Structure 1
């Protein structure tokens, strides 16, 4: 037994001793993992290679043309099928071959299709900067990519590209591959292949005539054919040519001296005098090309045989191009041939681009597109985006909200912001401020909203600020931040579409030759509440019917819109003029201006472009009005109340306005401005023999009034004696033997036009014969008592609520009263201070005192007596109104002579809006529109 036990122990020790060390186990496991990874990567690469397309000789020789379809799926353009001249390798001069090889693939004639050194550098760059940050494609790889593969930056595509490059080099010679590359590459301006490019840019049909600078230009173009277009960007092309020449020196293709001589060449002097004609719909297709490049990685609409489905409305596009042409029947009154224009037309419901007007008389040679490429200050057209939209969204302001347009807005260390006409209107609603494009209320509103709320709001509408942070001048479009018609139309469309924004788009999907589809429509996003969108739209309807946009108004069509103009230093008139507007169907933004420093003689052209286009597009098409959401309520408020108050029963119709409020933020207090004040009570006047004066006393329950005391002597006219907050008054220096009639009226401290009915009393000052006077007075009192008894028996009902107010704008006194009994007529007596009374009979419950007879500083006493059907007369009701003294004339401050365009005036004799200079910021002159 012991022997067996010992044997088992020995075996355990032997087994334990035979185990491998830990490090060996780790190495074994790591080796297995690495082997598995190698096998996995190898299997993956094998799969990529196995699924790679076959090399097709036909595709190598002829690039596919791309087809563009309109919104209805109809073919409208085919790109790449024309403007192509095929050449053979023998046609290529050495200078061109050297320029291309040095620029694109310096080891082209040595590598087998892929360049290991370039791949190594690209791997390092992709590890440090992310996959796809740098490519290592040789000319051979570029040929197979353009012929057989998509342009996506994927590992699978790159593996297939390298594999096919190796295969291509086995089947074709280097000369044939270079020939394929130079025949298929796109050089811009509609030219495909180097031979056509030489014809297009230099008028050269024999490539052997190319000079070194020309060869360098052709070698540099394929990288960015639109950007480096020498017709449009000679300076940018000069930089690119210099880069090519430096590369040729680096790779010993030319000497330093040859390079320096070539760099001295003036690019325009090498070019053809005339640029090639563009295709139809060129401005729209330019946007299509941009979108495909941006959204479909690496795709080229000129060479890739794509089917591109777009949002193009051919009818709209053709009409826009007609309006931007020099056709004899064109209704747009362009001022001269140099004036340029750009326009974008969007579908308001989804943001689809329906038409683009790129420039006057169409784009030339893929040239400057003023709808997409300009970067001009927007002026006042920006106000809904940076000012009033954010105010409603974040502060729940109503369209009635009051802002004080009192004086220029001072900015420390800078010139103040002024209204364009240097006129200020006092307290105004934001509806009026926007409609008339007042600058001071706009900057005050932005200040109250805050940049932290306004900037994100504007950016959510696609508005990109030139600087990181907005400043106060962004309220009126007066900073370095520029924009273009497409960006403006995209931002405004969100207001037309209940606050839903998406980037304007021209392409809906792209289909590759292998059937692969890429959906390119942007996703919509709610960027503001429906209440903000509707309230801004409603204010912009006012701007187009009553404000500065009246020349763009279309009767019978619910249209909203805004104007904008800007100036520059040294110009006597506007540099840029804008109009952006919309219906529920279409949104249109139009711009006009000049390339050089030249001012606009006519700032109404964008209005005409908008109006004519909108009318044409809206023919035979139902256009719904903007639908008020449940989040918005209409409320009648009293004009001039701050904050907004509800009108009272006494508020006249002319003093009531209906405005829009965000639900839950409506006014609850009722105005007391027009309420009839109570008359004084207990009015009495007594003669004090000791002081030889008349003591007047009365009672009143409120301290919110002051009292206007007047008197007449022996039936003469009423003369105002004093205004006092006390409830008594002493009248001294009285005339013996005279009868005084004393009148007291309560006047509101808050509103001097709000007065009570007049109360009167009489007192007689004793004469020299006191006894005779007292006897006479007793007799008169007795007679008066008898008369009063008769009046009590037969007197008519007096009027109530008699009030009179002076209207300074109309220079009239409005008199009104209340009477609820049957009547025959009212007898109205008007007595001016120091003048004779005039009496007339009326049957209405009010009248207007007007005419040149109203004199500044005079007080008019108005007495109304009711005469009923039986001829009975009532006691008179009395009130008064004073015409203010005319203010003394003050010398006017001399203003700069530079004009400013007024967007609310017709074309002729129109003032122009001042634009900022380095010393004079633009926003001071943005017109109230």
Structure 2
């Protein structure tokens, strides 16, 4: 049967075999191709890895054993400080208690004794996190890697640096034992600064923070120290006890998790307040301490870098002469008289155009590690916030002019809570320039309500003010916590810098030991229109010229600024028996085209005596501003703020709303000059001040028997309110002199000069605006020659309470055209007697 298969059956069987053979061949080729690609990939990866790690710096044992100090340079490139040359207690591994070692191992590298420099398990987890959240999202550095990156590499988080770090970590472990590497680590890590100085190494830290040796440390103290290296300044228990305690408790939890202590021991240690065992040591001042504090903070933002042992070259914005002057002003009474030793001040001086910090006054009589009142406070800014949250946004988003009218009147927050001005008064309609100059609260709130909270928040946030995600109407007058002088200086300088915000900074460049340079200058950011910046600036010039900041004005300089005062709440007033007028904070922030200075004054802690009360104390912030800015501006070019082309200065009739141009009859004292965005300026001319109607039918009659002249005129009854008539006379075509001013429509004159020719002129004017006068009504008469010479003058009607006689006007009215100026012209003209002894 088999031999009888058909040809078609045979062919089908043959084809099936060929198909199997073809499939097998394809998979063999695929596997070979993948193998070759794998080889190529491995070779390429190896070549790439080699190309990256070949540039890694060599492991220098001397750098591992001895920290390399960082040098700080001022704005001129001169070295002003060296960080790292400090007292240091070195401890051998065998002298490190297991309690301390376990604390560090738990939080920094639990598999330290198991890996060979790189922890692959942590690395895989970090790769996954970085893939999901972006490179740098999570680190996987071992203690060995931390030793490497702190002393040989720059801190940027790049793949190249990470590969070099891992390579050097493996090499380091090949060269040194685990105990040697751990010894290197704990002796060189940075533990922030205290009054003890800059703290390096765990043994030094034990002494600096607790006044103990390592063997004397208790569990909670060892855990606190182990938690600090991740962010030394943030977890400094002297400066930030709450953050330090939170971090300490994390370490205790990890120690229990990994079996180094029991849960009960962890719980008991967590109950101990951080501040309870901190040491009290003698303070030791350092030069430029306040400024250097900020330098360290900014360099620390680079990431994994120990500024005190990384051998950095740090180039700063410090003006040593300005810094020295600031410290002298704050620490002596040579320039400013301070009320007592507890009175404090914090200030920051910056370059208006660059944001570079020139000097920092961190406090009066400040010592190393003391609280920095210039950079670390979080106080309510009071009215200094009004240009930032109220009027700046109104000009930016609503195109308000500096003249924009607003009514200072009884008003409430949107929830119905009433708001008052500082003087508990209302001043009615005014311009926003006037409202800012006099620091009126109600116009400020009304402005914020018109702008809207969202836009105001965005505007302030772009100027570096920490307002969070949401603001409230109380922000309009500074009712929030809060700002520092550093932040306020940055915001105010944006107005003086044509609307460009440059974050205040002390560091311009950092050079690492491997010659890597990091540019630290912040990027400029346009945060408002140039027109907004100029118009707000001009409004703040009124603050120092005629408003609440007059004592901060500096002759010869273009100065803009704003005052700020905060108030105690009722509970605090009652608790400390605060006297009426006592306040916690007084601010002044201002700028010239060259310098910006923000000043805070107050007390560290409120007590029954520690608060600002007297007018002299309240003026210190403005006095500090004036003295310091005046000093640093000496010899500098005194430039002005430049008006942008889209802003125009327009004359406006005062009080007009909407604004109107003055007419030819508008009194000069009722004309103001204000800035408008081009295209929004007023076009309509005001009709408020019209030329008064002229007196009509002016006539004169002479009664020969009575020897009396009677002068009369007519004037529309409906127009007479507020109108006064001025009567001038001339004798024999001589000069005209004022004879009388009157509200009536005539007057009598007796005994005129015989044979003389009298000419009378009558003019009407408004009592409030005497310059605005009507046309003249004129009449002439010749007196018969036989008339008696004696002359008496009476006004019709004869009213004892009417206007005073010529020569008896009140001297306070000397500028009134109807005053006794007419007496001066009578000389040589034989004026008539008025019968009252003159």
TM over 0.5: yes
Any conservation in 2 of the 1:231–1:275 contact (CA below 8 Å)?
no
Answer yes or no: is 1:300 the counterpart of 2:311: no
Q: Which residue of the partner structure matches residue 122 of structure 1? A: 126
Is the Cα contact below 8 Å between 2:762 and 2:776 reproduced in 1? yes
Q: Which of 634, 641, 656 is residue 671 of structure 2 equivalent to?
A: 656
Aligned to 2:214: 207
Contact 1:745 1:757 in 2 (8 A): no
Pairing 1:422–2:424 present = yes
Question: Residue 677 and residue 513 in structure 1: after superposition, are their counterparts in 2 closer, same or farther (change >3 A)?
Answer: same
Determine if the alignment matches structure 1 residue 133 to structure 2 residue 148: no
Q: CA deviation at 1:152?
A: 1.8
Find the counterpart in structure 1 of residue 514 from structure 2. Answer: 514
Give the Cα–Cα distance (whole angstroms) in 1 for the partners of residues 809 and 526 of structure 2.
53
Shift of 1:816: 5.5
1:583 aligns with 2:592: yes
The answer to whether the 8 Å contact 2:691/2:773 transfers is no
CA change 1:220–1:453 in 2 (3 A) is closer
SS in 2 for 1:587: strand
Shift of 1:284: 1.3
Find the partner of 1:375 among 373, 378, 385.
378
Matched with 1:233 is 240
Out of 599, 605, 609, the residue aligned to residue 624 of structure 2 is: 609
Q: Is the 8 A contact 1:103 1:219 kept in 2?
A: yes
8 Å CA contact retained: 2:809, 2:819:
no
1:558 counterpart = 2:558: yes
Structure 1 188/823 Cα, relative in aligned 2: closer, same or farther at 3 Å?
Answer: farther
> How many Å apart are 1:108 and its aligned residue?
2.0
Aligned residues of 1:288 and 1:506 also touching (Cα < 8 A) = yes
Alignment match, 1:898:
none
1:351 pairs, out of 350, 355, 359, with 355
SS in 2 for 1:624: coil
The change in CA–CA distance for 1:453 and 1:115 in structure 2 (over 3 A counts) is: closer
Tell me what 1:316 maps to: 322
Query: How far 1:345 moved relative to its partner?
Result: 0.3
Change (3 A) 1:492 1:804: same
Does 2:57 correspond to 1:67?
Answer: no
Are the aligned partners of 2:283 and 2:367 in contact in 1 as well (CA < 8 Å)? no
SS at match of 2:192: coil
Aligned equivalent of 1:803, options 745, 762, 765: 765
Check whether the contact 1:745–1:755 (CA below 8 A) recurs between aligned residues. no
CA RMSD of aligned residues (A): 4.0
Q: Aligned runs of 1:168-207 on 2, under 5 Å?
A: 168-189=172-193, 190-204=198-212, 206-207=213-214
CA contact (8 A) 2:444 2:477 kept: yes
Alignment-derived partner of residue 714 in structure 1: none
Query: 1:242 is matched with which residue?
Result: 249
Q: How many positions carry a matched residue from both structures?
A: 746
Aligned match of 1:485: 485
Distance in 2, Cα, partners of 1:612 & 1:196: 42
Does the CA-based 8 Å contact 2:53-2:167 persist in structure 1? yes
Cα distance in 1 between the residues matched to 2:118 and 2:779: 108
SS in 2 for 1:187: strand
- What is the distance in 2 between the residues matched to 1:541 and 1:65? 46
* Cα offsets for 1:511-557 (capped at 9, x unmatched): 11121111121222333333322222222121112111122122232
Q: Give the Cα separation in 2 of the matches to 1:84 and 1:618.
A: 42
Q: Tell me, yes or no, if the aligned pair for 2:411 and 2:419 is still in contact at 8 Å.
A: yes
Could you say if the C-alpha distance between residues 301 and 861 of structure 1 is closer, same or farther in structure 2, counting changes exceeding 3 Å? closer
Distance 1:422 1:514, change over 3 A: same
Q: Does 1:400 align with 2:412?
A: no
* Distance in 2 of aligned mates of 1:522 and 1:823: 82
1:620 aligns with one of 623, 630, 635: 635
How far has the Cα of 1:150 moved from its partner? 1.9
Q: Deviations over 1:390-429 (max 9, x none)?
A: 2223333222221111x22223434112211111111111
CA distance in 1, matches of 2:777, 2:88: 93
TM-aligned CA deviation for residue 629 of structure 1: 3.3
Query: Who is 1:745 aligned against?
Result: 717
Structure 1, unaligned runs of 5 or more: 1-10, 684-739, 759-790, 808-812, 853-859, 874-929
Give the conservation status (yes or no) of the 8 Å contact 1:815–1:848: no
Q: Is the 8 A contact 1:182 1:194 kept in 2?
A: yes
- Aligned 1:596-745 pairs, distance under 5 A: 596-598=605-607, 599-601=611-613, 602-678=617-693, 744-745=716-717
CA contact (8 A) 1:408 1:419 kept: no
1:444 match: secondary structure? helix
Partner residue of 2:604? 595
1:390 aligned onto 2:390: no
User: CA distance change for structure 1 residues 275 and 55 in 2, over 3 Å: closer, same or farther?
Assistant: same
Q: 1:213 Cα deviation (Å)?
A: 3.0
Partners of 2:270 and 2:471 lie apart in 1 by 42
C-alpha contact (below 8 Å) 1:200/1:276 kept by paired residues: no
Structure 2 stretches of 5 or more lacking a match? 1-13, 699-711, 728-754, 782-791, 832-838
1:778-823 CA-to-partner distances (Å, cap 9, x unmatched) read: xxxxxxxxxxxxx9x97747344x114158xxxxx89956669999
Contact 2:190/2:199 (<8 A) preserved:
yes
User: Which residue of 1 is the match for residue 3 of structure 2?
Assistant: none
Map Cα deviations across residues 822-871 of structure 1 (whole Å, 9 max, x no partner). 999xx9986689546667569xxxx977889xxxxxxx999x99x99999
C-alpha separation in 2, matches of 1:491 and 1:288: 20
Aligned to 1:901: none
Structure 2 CA distance for aligned equivalents of residues 130 and 682 of structure 1: 94
1:150 aligns with 2:154: yes
Q: Label 1:20 to 1:559 Cα distance change in 2 as closer, same or farther (>3 A).
A: same
Structure 2 residue 335 is the aligned partner of structure 1 residue 331: yes
Q: 1:434 aligns with which of 411, 415, 436?
A: 436
CA contact (8 A) 2:509 2:518 kept: yes
SS in structure 2 at match of 1:514: coil
1:420 counterpart SS class: coil
CA contact 1:831–1:861 (8 Å) conserved in 2: no
**What are the superposed Cα offsets for residues 596-650 of structure 1, whole Å, 9 maximum, x if unpaired?**
3443223222112211211211223232232333333322222222222222222
Q: Hey, what's the Cα distance between the residues in 2 that align with 1:358 and 1:22?
A: 80
Matches within 5 A, 1:499-538: 499-538=499-538
Question: 8 Å contact 2:411–2:442 — kept in the other structure?
Answer: yes
Cα 1:849–1:155 shift into 2, 3 Å: same
In the alignment, is the contact (CA less than 8 A) between 1:191 and 1:197 conserved in 2? yes
Tell me: higher relative CO, structure 1 or 2? Use CA pairs within 8 A at least 6 residues apart. Answer: 1
Query: Structure 2 CA distance, aligned partners of 1:415 and 1:652?
Result: 41
Whether contact under 8 Å (1:806, 1:814) holds in the other structure is: no
Are 1:252 and 2:259 an aligned pair? Answer: yes
Matched residues in 1 for 2:56 and 2:137: separation?
23
Q: Does 1:472 align with 2:473?
A: yes
Q: What SS does structure 2 have at the residue aligned with 1:188?
A: strand
CA distance in 2, matches of 1:151, 1:134: 15
- Change beyond 3 A, Cα 1:90–1:869: closer
